[in-house]
Structure 1
Amino acid sequence: MTQKPTSTRNAAGGETSLRQIAYERIEDLLNWGRLRPGQIISQRELVEMTGVTLGSVREAIPRFEAEGLLQTVPQRGLMVPSLDVAFVREAYQMRRLIELGAVPDLCGRLEKSVVQGWIDWHLDARARLGQDEVDSLSGFLRDFQLFDWQMHSHMVEAMENKLISNVYRVTAIKIRMAAQSRVRVTRQNATRVISEHLDFLTPLLQGQCDATAQALSRHINQSLTLALGGTIPA
């Protein structure tokens, strides 16, 4: 279904350029697997999928190319790059460096109320998943995935370093692109991730930086195992 831009105003009240809207909508296509590694797509197909103008798509493309998220193939269009096992390992190494590097800032800067809010959200999600029937499970799992991405991004932003935050954002998109054929957000996976998140959020709330880093490292290791097609013991 074609998306239509509803506003050109951002939350701060400033103008949001059509190029930025186009970028964000193409980014969503990559994040959610509607554009897959190795796929060839035309600019006009992107216009149809995003609901923005051809001019704004063309203006957004150089940024995707610079970030390694799209490649121009002469006479054919745009290609979503194929990402191999070596890349997945390297991307997770980058993720580990950034997220674990953020732990001291999380302990020193992040408000306890934010961490408590994350814990409460996870406890509520776990209770809902424990029910025999969950209304609109697919919608709930999509919301859970989005919350997961946003929380980890917020954690990195505690470093207050825009350069690192942008490197992390692009790396995260590539990880999702590479792993989406192997990892599915299911009730079982969501339950596991909730437990792993609580394992590092609880010591974070208590100001225990070493325990936070250790639990976060285990969580990243588990994610890498799944991204490489492995399995995790129940």
Structure 2
Amino acid sequence: MGNDVKHNPSNAPPPGGEGSLRQLAYQRIEDLLNWGRVRPGQIISQRELVDLTQVTLSAVREAIPRFEAEGLLQTLPQRGLMVPSLDVAFIREAYQMRRIIELAAVPDLVRRLDRSVITDWIGWHEEARERLAKEDSVDLLGFIRDFQLYDWDMHARMVAAMDNSLIANVYRVTLIKIRMSAQGRVRVTRDNANRVINEHIAFLTPLAEGRLDEASAALSYHLDQSLTLALGGGVKG
């Protein structure tokens, strides 16, 4: 009985005291921003964040200064917290930052990341493309969410190959802001998912083979397409 391992539900606070609760609060508020459950320009109270995150008020309060320092929340005296509005100029600047970091990571990916990781990424995308082709058997919303999470994780691991925590954190915050700004502009569709899958494979394949120039060019094209979409424009399929 004493050796039984019990599953910790996702809504239950992790062991470890207030520091862990503060981190849990941060992660759940970050999820709200990433998935558009709180949006740029919205004003929200600390109590509302408690209801949305299911953590304690003290944990939410302790997490807020970090969001303020990262430019993800602003305190409005007597009113609550505001999610900052992000204009077109910001989107362009954020994508410029993203481009600098991701392209700089390409040589480190080849040197430090096991090639099997890259081939696994390619295999996952090929399987995803096959699943998506079966129009009648795919839960599109579920597929898109799974794909979005995989996309975010893959790009973060690409940057993590640089082994630079400062760059990784700047990249993480930049991507949160990009997702926030894109919520009202980007409509995820089957065609768009197929486009992203093909663009990923286009830079992962030369990456796995050590062809850095070709991988960098394909990654750059992918980022250009993403920027155009984030700005509300049309992209090539």
TM-score by length of 1: 0.94
Percentage identity across paired residues of the two chains: 69
1:202 has 2:205 as partner: yes
- What letter corresponds to residue 108 of structure 2 in structure 1? D
- Cα drift, residue 135 of structure 1: 3.4
Find the counterpart in structure 2 of residue 8 from structure 1: 14
- Cα drift, residue 104 of structure 1: 0.6
The one of 163, 167, 174 equivalent to 1:164 is: 167
Cα distance per residue 1:50-71 (max 9 Å; x no partner): 0000000000000000000000
Find the counterpart in structure 2 of residue 232 from structure 1: 235
Find the counterpart in structure 1 of residue 49 from structure 2: 46
1:187 has 2:193 as partner: no
- Cα distance between partner residues in 2 of 1:57 and 1:155: 30
The one of 60, 78, 100 equivalent to 2:81 is: 78
In the TM superposition, what are the counterparts of 1:1-234 in structure 2 within 5 Å? 5-9=11-15, 17-234=20-237
- What letter corresponds to residue 218 of structure 2 in structure 1? A
- What letter corresponds to residue 139 of structure 1 in structure 2? G
- Cα distance between partner residues in 2 of 1:16 and 1:151: 28
- What letter corresponds to residue 109 of structure 1 in structure 2? R
Give the RMSD, CA atoms, in angstroms.
1.6
- Cα distance between partner residues in 2 of 1:119 and 1:16: 38
- What letter corresponds to residue 167 of structure 1 in structure 2? V
The answer (yes or no) to whether the contact 1:4–1:51 under 8 Å persists in 2 is no
Cα distance per residue 1:80-125 (max 9 Å; x no partner): 0000000000000000000000011011111111001100100000
The answer (yes or no) to whether the contact 1:8–1:17 under 8 Å persists in 2 is yes
Question: What SS does structure 2 have at the residue aligned with 1:72?
Answer: strand
- What letter corresponds to residue 46 of structure 1 in structure 2? L
Gaps of 5+ in 1: none
TM-score by length of 2: 0.93
The answer (yes or no) to whether the contact 1:42–1:76 under 8 Å persists in 2 is yes
- Cα drift, residue 186 of structure 1: 1.5
| Misfit runs of 4+, over 2 Å | 3-7
- What letter corresponds to residue 28 of structure 2 in structure 1? R
Cα distance per residue 1:13-59 (max 9 Å; x no partner): x9961000000000000000001000000000000000000000000
- What letter corresponds to residue 161 of structure 2 in structure 1? A
- Cα distance between partner residues in 1 of 2:121 and 2:137: 21
Question: How many correspondences in the alignment?
Answer: 229
- Cα distance between partner residues in 2 of 1:80 and 1:213: 34
- Cα drift, residue 7 of structure 1: 4.6
